[in-house]
Amino acid sequence: MSVKVKSMNFASLLICAVAALFSLGMIFFFGGGDWLVAASSAVMTGFVTYVVSRYIIWRFVLYRIKPIYQLMLERDLSVGELAGHFKGNDIISNAGLDIAEWAGKKAAEIDRLKDMENYRKEFLGNVSHELKTPLFTLQGYVITLLDNGAGDPETNVRYLEKANKNIERLIAIVHDLEEISKLEMKVMNLEREQFDIVALAEETAESFNIQENENKIAIKVAGELPIYVFADRRRIEQVFVNLMSNSIKYGRKGGSTTVKFIDMFDKVMVEITDNGIGISKENLPRVFERFFRADTIRSQENGGTGLGLAIVKHIVEAHGENIVVRSELGKGTTFGFTLKKYL
């Protein structure tokens, strides 16, 4: 029992003892000196005083802690409601536990708000940094062209093309930012449907294979039978686009990319493997972070936004699934993600 509860009982007992003694004396002296009558009336007085004083102290404590409970519950509260909450239990110890629990929750909320604030600051810093380079480059070309151009018409056209490349880069950043903010605000509504994941991989690979790429990398899909999954087809196509385009961007000349499907009972693991530049051990755990680039030069040369893998991870996780990566520097990289099969 806490010291405060002990002192509450002690106060009641003290009042009760004083009242009983007072009653004993009064009845004895003024009631004709009968000890029996004096003693029984002292017991009665003591008992009634004890009950009344406990009740008064109990109400007093409830009045004192009412503002704390109003603060914790963020609403008005009557003493009766508060008394109902304790149901005759030890107020002080129970209030102590309630306050400790509330303080714990508040501390967790403050930590969460601090994390969000840090995240917001970091995100804003990253975004402005990402936008700065293409914007300043673009401005450079536009200013040169405005100042009577570079001299000959051919150079002017080249400058315009370069300016356009930077505009495309800005558009890609804005598009990926929009995508990532939707994903991170969890407003992504998945439109799940049944579809053949092998066919989707083949379609996406074909759209890359028909375009000329500098490294002459071909994407092969190693799956013959249809495998039906239940997922958001458009979003999974985005996952394929991001992973396949990375395998080309970070591939080697004449290299290859293979898409494989591994059966895992009610799930399928889709693996996209390239034999490109690979990712070092130190950088590997960070590749899914927003704006992280292991190879900044290649990323920027190829219009990378540093958001592709973060988007991929969000999409896979929104499906309640996982994505993993393994890689060896100079040898190649494999990204693997799971999906639920449509059985």
- Applying CB under 6 A, the residues found at the interface with ligand ADP are 242, 246-247, 249-250, 274, 276-279, 287, 292-295, 299, 304-310, 333
Return the structure tokens found at 41.
Answer: 């009336």
Residue number, 50 or 288, with CB nearest to ligand ADP: 288
| Cβ at position 333, least distance to ligand ADP in Å | 4
CA distance 234 to 336: 18
Residue number, 24 or 180, with CB nearest to ligand ADP: 180
Residue number, 158 or 175, with CB nearest to ligand ADP: 175
CA distance 223 to 228: 12
Residue number, 75 or 253, with CB nearest to ligand ADP: 253
Residue number, 78 or 128, with CB nearest to ligand ADP: 128
| Cβ at position 331, least distance to ligand ADP in Å | 10
Residue number, 41 or 305, with CB nearest to ligand ADP: 305
Residue number, 223 or 306, with CB nearest to ligand ADP: 306
Residue type, position 334, single letter: T
| Cβ at position 186, least distance to ligand ADP in Å | 20
Residue number, 219 or 231, with CB nearest to ligand ADP: 219
For residue 332, the Cα-to-chain-centroid distance in whole angstroms is 31
Residue number, 8 or 307, with CB nearest to ligand ADP: 307
| Cβ at position 141, least distance to ligand ADP in Å | 23
HEC-encoded secondary structure of the chain: CCHHHHHHHHHHHHHHHHHHHHHHHHHHHHCCCCHHHHHHHHHHHHHHHHHHHHHHHHHHHHHHHHHHHHHHHCCCCCHHHHHHHHCCCCHHHHHHHHHHHHHHHHHHHHHHHHHHHHHHHHHHHHHHHHHHHHHHHHHHHHHHHHCCCCCCHHHHHHHHHHHHHHHHHHHHHHHHHHHHHHHHCCCCCCCEEEEEHHHHHHHHHHHHHCCCCCCCCEEEEECCCCCEEEEEHHHHHHHHHHHHHHHHHCCCCCCEEEEEEEEECCEEEEEEEECCCCCCCCCHHHCCCCCCCCCHHHHHHCCCCCCHHHHHHHHHHHCCCCEEEEEECCCEEEEEEEEEECC
- 308 burial level (CB within 10 Å; 0-12, 13-18, 19+): buried
| Cβ at position 339, least distance to ligand ADP in Å | 20
| Cβ at position 176, least distance to ligand ADP in Å | 8
| Cβ at position 304, least distance to ligand ADP in Å | 3
| Cβ at position 249, least distance to ligand ADP in Å | 6
| Cβ at position 246, least distance to ligand ADP in Å | 3
